[in-house]
A = this chain, B = another copy of it.
Amino acid sequence: MRISTRGHYGLKAMFDLAQHYGTAPVPLKSIAERQNLSVQYLEQLIAMLRKAGLVKSFRGAQGGYMLADNPKQITVGDVIRALEGPVAPVECVDEIDPKECDQADYCISRIVWEKIRNSIAQVMDSLTLADLCREAKAKENEKEREEKEESKEGV
């Protein structure tokens, strides 16, 4: 029950792009450095995201990538699905193309997989990249406050 590194690293990259939304194109090299990933592998992942229409690319010097849309409009679900395919804990409850199963009528485990699928989708689809940026900022502020407290107390 794992997400592969594709989804894992890909989401990091998209979060990075979201934090640079509205600026010049961001080259992969800088994303790779900040997120501690290999450029060559990232190239593959971002190609998938581009084909899914989630990022725009600009070639040549000063080129790079940017989100194709406002971070508020892009959900975690969009990103994960582009990289990992449709949500489907087992193939017979695939979101897009459920595999025909001769036991579908009376298979009870199916109910379980459907519930799991729906709960995963619900989380992914209700979280946008903008939400993540907000969380990141909140975390940062908290950290700063803590540091101030510490220096006050002379720890």
- Report B-chain residues with C-beta under 8 Å of the C-beta of A108: 15, 132, 135-136, 139
Given contacts A103-B36, A115-B127, A123-B115, contact A109 B15 (CB under 8 A): yes
A76 contacts B by Cβ under 8 Å: yes
Residue-wise, chain A 1-45 has the 8 Å CB interface mask toward B (1 for contact) of 111000110011001000000000000000000001000000000
Q: Smallest CB–CB gap between A146 and chain B, Å? A: 11
Shortest beta-carbon distance from A89 to chain B in Å: 5
Is A122 a contact partner of B123 (Cβ separation < 8 A)? Answer: no
User: Taking chain A's interface residues, is the majority helix, strand, or loop, or is none over half, making it mixed?
Assistant: helix
By the criterion of a CB under 8 Å from any partner CB, how many residues of chain A are at the interface?
40
Q: How many copies of the shown chain assemble into the complex?
A: 2
The CA-CA distance from A139 to B76 in the complex, in Å, is 35
Nearest CB to that of A81 among chain B residues?
B1
A54 at the interface (CB under 8 A from B): no
Determine which of B80, B116, B127 lies in contact with A123 in the assembled complex, contact meaning CB atoms within 8 Å: B116
A residues near B (Cβ < 8 Å) are 1-3, 7-8, 11-12, 15, 36, 76, 80, 84, 87-91, 103, 105-109, 111-113, 115-116, 119-120, 122-124, 127, 132, 135-136, 139-140, 143
Not counting A1-B84, A8-B113, A106-B140, a sample of 4 additional A-B residue pairs whose C-beta atoms are within 8 angstroms of each other reads A2-B89, A3-B113, A108-B139, A112-B127
